[in-house]
Chains A and B, each alone.
Chain A
């Protein structure tokens, strides 16, 4: 019953977002682009970015929300997707298929090797090691070894070897939108299958009580490594979709710790340990980020007193504040809010309000 309902709901969303580029509806105010048409290039681009980060956040939720490991390294695998794909196409002039194969191959090797090292320690030390690795990776990219990454100036994607429909031309925004959406759908399907499987139950058990699992004779290490690798590969997929959509790789935008923290915030806002939560949180975060920038650029804004204008024109400030308030007052995130409400509608009077 529950499965049918979520299948119907998910199917409806699938059809809606897949068909969205054909909807030429005029909507005032809410769109993140200055053009008030739903299928305008600007809005499609922002939505595509929403999908990409929704997928990445979903992957991150497997390691953070489901397995309970606070990794601060997801940006590394996102950056692997962005840079390895970009370098193979732009610098080495490889065709699409081998470029994709190398990108995911590199990501797999990195995830297994570095994951195995990081997982030797647990708790806060694990968090720190993943953070340090990601930071080292960032320094490496900034360093521009052998002129590969372009350092601070970044590396624009050359579309010479890409199929025509994928190139970064404005007329292709619709196609890139579908690619991003396709990535999210695949990521969702994979994460759904894994978290609903026996392996997924072991992951949740690791989060709840790792010692007990060991007593039962299940070795947590390989499951943790599997979760780490899966979430890394999903992040790499997101990186590939990102570079196709945005067309330029800049270290501060795709490899810095800020990206990791954003992904973490997306998952927590939506509700860690839930698939819909991670997706919704990420979509909302990216949308708000872009929307707030648009609002701050409006002329009416400039006439505001600076006490109001300065904070309101900084999406980072607003999103950070929202996040702090959520952590304090809405512990389960949006998903927790939703499930609390539906539960309280059903059972409240009998059970009283449960504190999460």
Chain B
């Protein structure tokens, strides 16, 4: 039983990170019809920004504060990368959706290549507070503290995003744009600015996802290609949840995280297949799409 609880908890934490990675993708797709392959790059760049800042901040400031600074750097790094991408390569290609997808693929390859050249393919270690490497003993189960951070991050972002989309002017413009972009621009509202806003927000969340993924699941290590593997799962989450739906992404992210965790534990050791968790996620995607080709939550926000 305690194993099951621990497993569920780590599955939920994984789901929280998938949600952070996927929600930005989903918003960008919903509003702009762009399958953003550079999203994995935003995650990687966020993680590298965090690493760069955290290793330059004096240790005397205290580990928790350094981590907060790193988190801020991840947000800023991801947002900046996304903003530049939108302005420099996406904007010249409005009205050519396939070209927009292609350009993000090229950008991802190019900048990942640059990171490989600059930092090498070896992993770098992000400094985190000691507390986050320990586990809390709650109700007879050991739960890793880092998972709590991931979970907290996921919930805070979900609530903030829902508030932003429902209560602010820009949020309402974005939701309206997802529903009917032509109508919104016909009403004289600058949709192009909403595009930039969505990209920057998506990039900021991607940056957080990149850092938290490193902290929670790869032993504080970051590498130039970490975003690519996370991106595939983010795509799967977005498609299962329904393109453009934030709640769909949240639920799909939980499903994917849990399925991956359970199958890895219960079948991975018996079958001797280390990748069974990943395979089962792909199977889940195929099943959901056969049942509901538009994903669980269609295309409403």
A residues at B contact (CB < 8 Å): 70, 117, 120-121, 124-125, 127-129, 131-133, 135-136, 139-140, 142-143, 145, 257-258, 261, 264-265, 268, 310-311, 313-321, 323-324, 327-328, 331
Selected contact of A310 from candidates B117, B236, B275, B286, CB within 8 Å: B117
- Least CB distance from B60 to A in Å reads 31
Contacts of B6 in A (CB 8 A): none
Interface flag for B99 (CB, 8 Å): yes
Contacts of A129 in B (CB 8 A): 239, 285-286, 289
A131, B232: Cβ atoms closer than 8 Å: yes
B105, A317: Cβ atoms closer than 8 Å: no
Selected contact of A117 from candidates B274, B275, B290, CB within 8 Å: B290
A124, B108: Cβ atoms closer than 8 Å: no
B residues at A contact (CB < 8 Å): 29, 33, 35, 89, 92-93, 96, 98-99, 101-103, 105-114, 116-118, 228, 232, 235-236, 238-239, 243, 273-276, 278-279, 282-283, 285-286, 289-290, 293-295
Contacts of B112 in A (CB 8 A): 316, 320
B290, A321: Cβ atoms closer than 8 Å: no
A317, B278: Cβ atoms closer than 8 Å: no
Instruction: Specify the chain A residue showing the minimal Cβ separation from B101.
Output: A70
Contacts of A265 in B (CB 8 A): 105-106, 109
Which residue, of B106, B117, B243, has the highest number of chain A Cβ atoms within 10 A?
B106
Instruction: Specify the chain A residue showing the minimal Cβ separation from B119.
Output: A310
Q: Is the interface of A mostly helix, strand, loop or mixed?
A: helix
Contacts of B35 in A (CB 8 A): 124, 127-128
**29 A-B pairs in the complex with CB atoms less than 8 angstroms apart:** A120-B289, A121-B293, A124-B243, A125-B239, A125-B295, A128-B35, A128-B238, A129-B239, A129-B286, A132-B286, A133-B282, A136-B282, A139-B275, A143-B276, A265-B105, A265-B109, A310-B114, A310-B118, A314-B114, A315-B113, A317-B111, A320-B110, A320-B111, A324-B89, A324-B106, A324-B107, A327-B102, A327-B103, A331-B99
The CA of A153 and the CA of B206, in the complex, are separated in Å by 32
Contacts of A120 in B (CB 8 A): 289-290, 293
A117-B286, A140-B275 are known contacts. Are A132 and B111 too (CB-CB below 8 A)? no
A135, B110: Cβ atoms closer than 8 Å: no
B110, A316: Cβ atoms closer than 8 Å: yes
Instruction: Specify the chain B residue showing the minimal Cβ separation from A313.
Output: B117
B109, A136: Cβ atoms closer than 8 Å: no
Which residue, of B29, B236, B239, B243, has the highest number of chain A Cβ atoms within 10 A?
B239
A319, B109: Cβ atoms closer than 8 Å: yes
The 6 lowest CB-CB distance pairs between A and B, nearest first, are A320-B110, A316-B113, A317-B113, A320-B109, A323-B106, A139-B275
A135, B274: Cβ atoms closer than 8 Å: no
Contacts of A258 in B (CB 8 A): 109
- Least CB distance from A312 to B in Å reads 9
Instruction: Specify the chain A residue showing the minimal Cβ separation from B110.
Output: A320
The CA of A311 and the CA of B102, in the complex, are separated in Å by 21
B228, A257: Cβ atoms closer than 8 Å: yes
Contacts of A133 in B (CB 8 A): 282, 286
The CA of A257 and the CA of B105, in the complex, are separated in Å by 11
Selected contact of B113 from candidates A131, A135, A314, CB within 8 Å: A314
Instruction: Specify the chain B residue showing the minimal Cβ separation from A320.
Output: B110
Contacts of A324 in B (CB 8 A): 89, 103, 106-107, 110
Selected contact of B117 from candidates A127, A136, A317, A328, CB within 8 Å: A317
The CA of A279 and the CA of B48, in the complex, are separated in Å by 38
A139-B279, A320-B113 are known contacts. Are A132 and B232 too (CB-CB below 8 A)? yes
The CA of A261 and the CA of B109, in the complex, are separated in Å by 9
- Least CB distance from B296 to A in Å reads 13
B93, A320: Cβ atoms closer than 8 Å: no
Selected contact of A327 from candidates B29, B33, B93, B294, CB within 8 Å: B93
A331, B96: Cβ atoms closer than 8 Å: yes
Contacts of B286 in A (CB 8 A): 117, 129, 132-133
A120-B289, A317-B110 are known contacts. Are A328 and B89 too (CB-CB below 8 A)? yes
Given A132-B286, A139-B282, A327-B93: 19 more A-B contacts, CB < 8 Å: A70-B98, A117-B286, A120-B293, A124-B29, A124-B239, A125-B289, A128-B236, A132-B235, A135-B232, A136-B283, A140-B275, A142-B274, A143-B274, A316-B110, A316-B116, A319-B109, A320-B106, A324-B103, A328-B99
B108, A320: Cβ atoms closer than 8 Å: yes
Contacts of A321 in B (CB 8 A): 106, 110
Contacts of A140 in B (CB 8 A): 275, 279
- Least CB distance from B288 to A in Å reads 10
The CA of A321 and the CA of B118, in the complex, are separated in Å by 16
The CA of A185 and the CA of B297, in the complex, are separated in Å by 47
Instruction: Specify the chain B residue showing the minimal Cβ separation from A133.
Output: B282
Contacts of B238 in A (CB 8 A): 128
A70-B101, A117-B290, A324-B107 are known contacts. Are A143 and B275 too (CB-CB below 8 A)? yes
Contacts of B92 in A (CB 8 A): 328
The CA of A70 and the CA of B100, in the complex, are separated in Å by 13
- Least CB distance from A166 to B in Å reads 33
A135, B289: Cβ atoms closer than 8 Å: no
The CA of A220 and the CA of B285, in the complex, are separated in Å by 24
The CA of A109 and the CA of B127, in the complex, are separated in Å by 50
The CA of A261 and the CA of B40, in the complex, are separated in Å by 14
Contacts of A317 in B (CB 8 A): 109-111, 113-114, 117
- Least CB distance from A173 to B in Å reads 29
Instruction: Specify the chain B residue showing the minimal Cβ separation from A325.
Output: B106
Contacts of B93 in A (CB 8 A): 327-328
